[in-house]
Amino acid sequence: MTDGSRLVAGRYRLAGLVGRGGMTDVYSATDERLHRTVAVKLLRTTPKTDAHFRLVFREEAQRASRMSHPAIARVYDSGDDVTTDAAGVERVTPYIVTEFVDGRSLREIIAEGPVAPDDAVHIASQLLTALEYSHRALLVHRDVTPGNIMVTGDGTVKVMDFGISRAASDSAATVAQAGTILGSARYFSPEQARGETIDARTDLYSTGVVLFEMLTGRAPFRADRPAAVAYQHLSEEPVVPSSINGRISPALDAVVLHALNKDRTRRYQTAAEFRVDLETAGAGDVPPGLLSAIDAESALYAMDPEAVSGPEAALRRLAAVDDDERVIRTQTRPPVAWVWAGIALLTTLLLAIGIWVVNIESGPSISTGLSVTVPDVAGGTYDEAAAELTALELQPLRLPQESDTVPEGTIISTEPGPGIRVSPQEQVTVYVSLGQDPTTVPLLEQTTEAEAVTAIEDRGLVYGESIPEYSPSLPAGTVIRSEPEANAGVREGDTVNLIVSNGLVEVPSVVGQPITTATTTLTALLLTIEPEPDYGCDTGEVTAQSLPAGEHPQASEITLTYCAG
């Protein structure tokens, strides 16, 4: 049997190969139990695909399956598929089943050339939103690459392969081996290359590499061997992106280079911080955090204020000055600069404390108007929340999220959460429930009641009740139709009722009707009609029927007496 027609785990019918990664072959498939299209990733097994690998892979896939975010491909199932080859050898193939994303990988898009800066910011922002969500769930992706990012026709980003990378990285003993398993070392963080313990900041470094590649059409570090690329991540500085693509702004240059800092304590610490700076730079403004760092550095090293004529020049200075140069400057500055800088800082601090003490006694806090408390809007509607947040000078952003417990259209939560103080104009993400997973009612007509109940529950729906109804042809206990009807759009957890044949027909009274009309009526009920002519009258009407009006078994025999004189 070819992979294109293979049945995985007795449930997923493979339709065709749609992609190939460093570790997996990806197929479109049909879930024959729930009748939906899914993506099935089969791990290419090797002698190194041992029991420990499968155990870690399964644990991470289970954690990934609990994540529900618009920018993360849903994980539906995982396990081991056991097959026997032509030689009679049993093979165990780990698999993972995800939602099927109809789009193109970012790798394919970049292969066509640099992505427009606005589009690159849009894609990277959605990627960071997904990482922000996964990092809150304590799940580090570890393999953020263009091949694991899908972009749909409407620009929606879906991040793939949560779970696979953890199993792979735990099984990789060396950089060279990791390069084989993970496909390419181009997206390694320095700590990955050194074999150190990694955390969420590793994903942010890899995101910086992906952003660099989108903007320039090439990765910041390239070589023939994975080990050589890993060495570059450790020892070489990336070039300024705008030196490759002149359409890139100085602000974006600074954001990318800050994300690619080799010292993880000095790069972005959270996905939210990275995303805010990226969106600010994408809008043509200077990220305040980067600008304040430049201003502080200028004061500390007594730089000529005329040398920095604006944000653009300051950001280019940030991209051009490396750590070694800063150390040299610090060592060659006269100590007087340090003394005056210390005096200025101390004076400013004392003045601020004095103002704060005075205002405590005499009036409102000086912090009034400088921060806003995020309100608790969970349980309400988005329109109500948006109005409340806008009134507080906050920027609401609606993001849909599936939920098994919160009704559709109701707010699940916000990020930042209620009670957190933030700056005015800060963005507040509002997660609005989509309800449970969407699905459809299966086709249940002419199945037995027991078969229909099983089909309903297999699709994540709830069987309600069976309502008896007359049927001239379907045997008792056979489903006539469902409510809602077949193929109707519903959500998991919705109730489906069955209309079931009771094996009876309702016979009407046809006395007084013309014999032709009566015969047509009763024939439609599949009754056996025996006409009995009465030659004592000639009206042609039915004068009597052997079965009274009411319920009778299907295919009953009925005698009609009619005037035939």
Spatial contact of 562 and 540, defined as CB atoms under 8 Å apart: yes
Judgement on whether residues 94 and 109 belong to the same structural domain of the protein? no
Token duo for residue 207: 């995101």
Judgement on whether residues 280 and 138 belong to the same structural domain of the protein? yes
Judgement on whether residues 120 and 90 belong to the same structural domain of the protein? no
Q: How many domains does the chain have?
A: 7
pLDDT at 335: 53
Straight-line distance from the first to the last Cα atom of the chain, in angstroms, rounded to the nearest whole number = 74
Mean pLDDT of 411-420: 87
Judgement on whether residues 183 and 250 belong to the same structural domain of the protein? yes
State yes or no: is 383 an active-site residue.
no
pLDDT at 53: 64
Residue 401 has pLDDT above 90, yes or no: no
Complete DSSP assignment for 358-388: HHHHHSS-TTBTTBEEPP--TTS-HHHHHHH
Residue 324 has pLDDT above 90, yes or no: no
Q: Higher model confidence: residue 381 or residue 227? A: 381
Judgement on whether residues 445 and 401 belong to the same structural domain of the protein? no
pLDDT per position as a tens digit, 484-513: 998 887 877 889 999 999 999 999 999 999
Mean pLDDT of 440-467: 91
pLDDT at 167: 46
Judgement on whether residues 30 and 44 belong to the same structural domain of the protein? yes
Chain mean position to CA 357 = 49
Residue 531: which H helix or E strand, with range? strand 528-534
Q: Alpha carbon of 525 to those of 324, 470, 522, 541, 559: distances in Å?
A: 95, 10, 5, 20, 14
Last residue of a domain, which of 433, 454, 471?
433
Mean pLDDT of 507-534: 93
Complete DSSP assignment for 440-467: E----TTSBHHHHHHHHHHTT-EEEEEE
Judgement on whether residues 315 and 217 belong to the same structural domain of the protein? no
Last residue of a domain, which of 433, 451, 479?
433
**Confidence band of 141 (pLDDT split at 50, 70, 90):** confident
What b/e string do you get for 429-459 counting C-beta neighbours within 10 Å, with b at 16 or more?
bbbbbbbbbebbbbbbeebebeebbebbeeb
Judgement on whether residues 124 and 250 belong to the same structural domain of the protein? yes
Last residue of a domain, which of 250, 265, 285?
285
Judgement on whether residues 291 and 276 belong to the same structural domain of the protein? no
Q: What ranges make up the beta strands (E) of 124-245?
A: 149-152, 157-159
Judgement on whether residues 291 and 279 belong to the same structural domain of the protein? no
Residue 62 has pLDDT above 50, yes or no: yes
Which is catalytic among the residues 31, 81, 143, 161? 143
pLDDT at 405: 80
Spatial contact of 301 and 329, defined as CB atoms under 8 Å apart: yes
pLDDT at 377: 92
pLDDT, averaged across the chain = 80
Residue 365 has pLDDT above 50, yes or no: no
CATH code, 120:
1.10.510.10
pLDDT at 429: 85
- Of 535, 525, 534, nearest to 560 by C-alpha is 534
**Confidence band of 292 (pLDDT split at 50, 70, 90):** low
Judgement on whether residues 73 and 215 belong to the same structural domain of the protein? no
Residue 164: which H helix or E strand, with range? helix 164-171
pLDDT at 47: 41
Residue 313 has pLDDT above 60, yes or no: no
Query: Domain residues for 109?
Result: 103-285
**Confidence band of 79 (pLDDT split at 50, 70, 90):** confident
CATH code, 389:
3.30.10.20
**Confidence band of 356 (pLDDT split at 50, 70, 90):** low
**Confidence band of 116 (pLDDT split at 50, 70, 90):** very high
Judgement on whether residues 125 and 259 belong to the same structural domain of the protein? yes
Q: Is the whole-model pTM more than 0.85?
A: no
Helix (H, G, I), strand (E, B) or coil at 253: helix
C-alpha neighbours within 13 Å on the C-beta side of residue 304: 4
CATH code, 94:
3.30.200.20
